[in-house]
Amino acid sequence: MSAPVGEVQIEIRDLTMAYGSFVLVRGVNAQVRRGEVFFIMGGSGCGKSTLLKHLIGLKPPAAGDILYDGQSFWQAPSEHREAVRRRFGVMFQHGALWSSLTLAENIALPMESFTDLGAAAVRELVQVKLALVGLRGFEEYYPAEISGGMRKRAALARALALDPEILFFDEPSAGLDPMSSRRLDDLILELRDSLGATVVVVSHELASILAIADNAIFLDAASRSVRAQGNPRELLETSADPAVRGFLTRGGAEASGAGRGRREAGALNFRGPPVSSGGSS
Ligand SMILES: Nc1ncnc2c1ncn2[C@@H]1O[C@H](COP(=O)(O)OP(=O)(O)O)[C@@H](O)[C@H]1O
Ligand SMILES: [Mg+2]
């Protein structure tokens, strides 16, 4: 996997994340480059989803700012923020599809809400988006009629509806078996490559982190800080910080990561579980 080197697209500057007087993390500084797969990683409750809310405009930070293409996001008037948000595609953790709508109707919804496209054009674009995520021909299916992995991919197709420049994911592989999770990771990389999108992923899934991240920040609840940043595979090799090492080497205990560690095992000195016998992957 080659790390793309684009210009800085997102800059997080001296951010403080808090709920009232309860400070989660102080002094968040990070840069995301165009075309990069950037992970916000850390244990449960460290503030990953909160940072995502700051990034996509759902919650103003307690202090600091975020810049998109060098322009302030949170100091700017809300119309500016809305315009920037139009360039985002977001897949939430529990980003359920509308169960009463077909896949086609789910994906058409953002197009109908935010564009002037006619019905025929929308229909055609819906087919393109579904094909992009490997769901060609599933237009008329309802979410309940397809598997969990397919539902995630359909939600991804919906996130792609408005041709986003930046894709945000909150725990995309939550609830998926390792095979479906890996397919989703591969799809995320494919879309980054084919669409040239920047990808920001919130995740605590070690297998995904080690498999597809170009760059990452590690949020730590205990020290309320960004404890490390960089390529997670390089951090695994070079970081001496016990908190960072602890997070990046706990793969053996993680059922969800089991079986996928093998992919990294040789080249990356990944301390995963022993290779299981007779696995389906
Ligand atoms: N709306 C809220 N009000 C108060 N505290 C919250 C709220 N949302 C989250 N928190 C707290 O903030 C911390 C971080 O939450 P979150 O960003 O969801 O963590 P993560 O996504 O890393 O698991 C948690 O301790 C959580 O309980
Ligand atoms: Mg979360």
- Best residue among 39, 41, 46, 217 to mutate for probing ligand 1, ranked by most atoms within 8 Å of CB: 46
Residue 258 dihedral angles phi and psi, to the nearest 5°: -60, 140
Q: What is the pLDDT of residue 5?
A: 66
Quote the CA–CA distance of 251 and 231 in Å, as a whole number. 17
Quote the CA–CA distance of 118 and 114 in Å, as a whole number. 12
In ligand 1, the atom with minimum distance to the C-alpha of 44 is 23
Q: What is the pLDDT of residue 96?
A: 79
From residue 35, alpha-carbon distances to 132, 189, 197, 207 in Å are 18, 10, 5, 21
Which of 149, 160, 148, 53 is CA-nearest to residue 106? 160
Q: What is the pLDDT of residue 50?
A: 97
Which of 244, 215, 227, 228 is CA-nearest to residue 10? 215
Q: For ligand 1, atom 20, which residue shows the shortest CA distance?
A: 45
Beta-bridge mates of residue 11: 31, 67
Measuring from each residue's beta carbon to the nearest atom of ligand 1, which residues come in under 6 Å?
Answer: 19, 24, 42, 44-50
- DSSP sequence for 231-279: -HHHHHHH---HHHHHHHTGGGG-GGGTTTTHHHHHHH----PPPPTT-
* 93 CA → ligand 1 middle, Å: 14
* 182 CA → ligand 1 middle, Å: 27
> What are the start-end ranges of the H helices in 44-118?
48-56, 78-85, 103-114
Amino acid in the structure at residue 272:
G
Q: What is the pLDDT of residue 153?
A: 94
Q: For ligand 1, atom 26, which residue shows the shortest CA distance?
A: 45
Amino acid in the structure at residue 254:
E
Q: What is the pLDDT of residue 268?
A: 38
Q: What is the pLDDT of residue 95?
A: 65
Q: Are 173 and 181 in contact, with CB atoms under 8 Å apart?
A: yes
Q: What is the pLDDT of residue 262?
A: 38
Q: What is the pLDDT of residue 48?
A: 97
Q: For ligand 1, atom 8, which residue shows the shortest CA distance?
A: 50
- Best residue among 28, 40, 49, 204 to mutate for probing ligand 1, ranked by most atoms within 8 Å of CB: 49
- pTM for the model: 0.87
Domain boundaries, the chain: 1-87+166-261, 91-163
Q: Are 56 and 91 in contact, with CB atoms under 8 Å apart?
A: no
Q: For ligand 1, atom 1, which residue shows the shortest CA distance?
A: 19
Residue reference for tokens 């920037």: 84
In ligand 1, the atom with minimum distance to the C-alpha of 52 is 17
Residue 150's SS3 state is helix
- Best residue among 17, 24, 41 to mutate for probing ligand 1, ranked by most atoms within 8 Å of CB: 24
Which of 180, 183, 130 is CA-nearest to residue 158? 130
Taking residue 203's Cβ as centre, other Cβ atoms within 10 Å add up to 24
Q: Which of the ligands is closest to the CA of residue 224?
A: 1
* 252 CA → ligand 2 middle, Å: 22
Taking residue 267's Cβ as centre, other Cβ atoms within 10 Å add up to 8
Q: What is the pLDDT of residue 253?
A: 42
* 47 CA → ligand 1 middle, Å: 6
Strand order through the sheet with 8-19: 22-33, 8-19, 63-68, 71-72
Topology of the domain comprising 1-87+166-261: Rossmann fold (3.40.50)
Q: What is the pLDDT of residue 270?
A: 37
Beta-bridge mates of residue 230: 216
Beta-bridge mates of residue 18: 23
**Tens digit of each residue's pLDDT, the chain (281 residues):** 554 568 999 999 999 999 999 999 999 999 999 999 999 999 999 999 999 999 999 999 999 999 999 999 999 999 999 999 999 999 987 767 999 999 999 999 999 999 999 999 999 999 999 999 999 999 999 999 999 999 999 999 999 999 999 999 999 998 899 999 999 999 999 999 999 999 999 999 999 999 999 999 999 999 999 999 999 999 999 999 999 999 999 844 443 444 444 343 333 333 333 333 333 33
Residue 210 in tokens = 């080690």
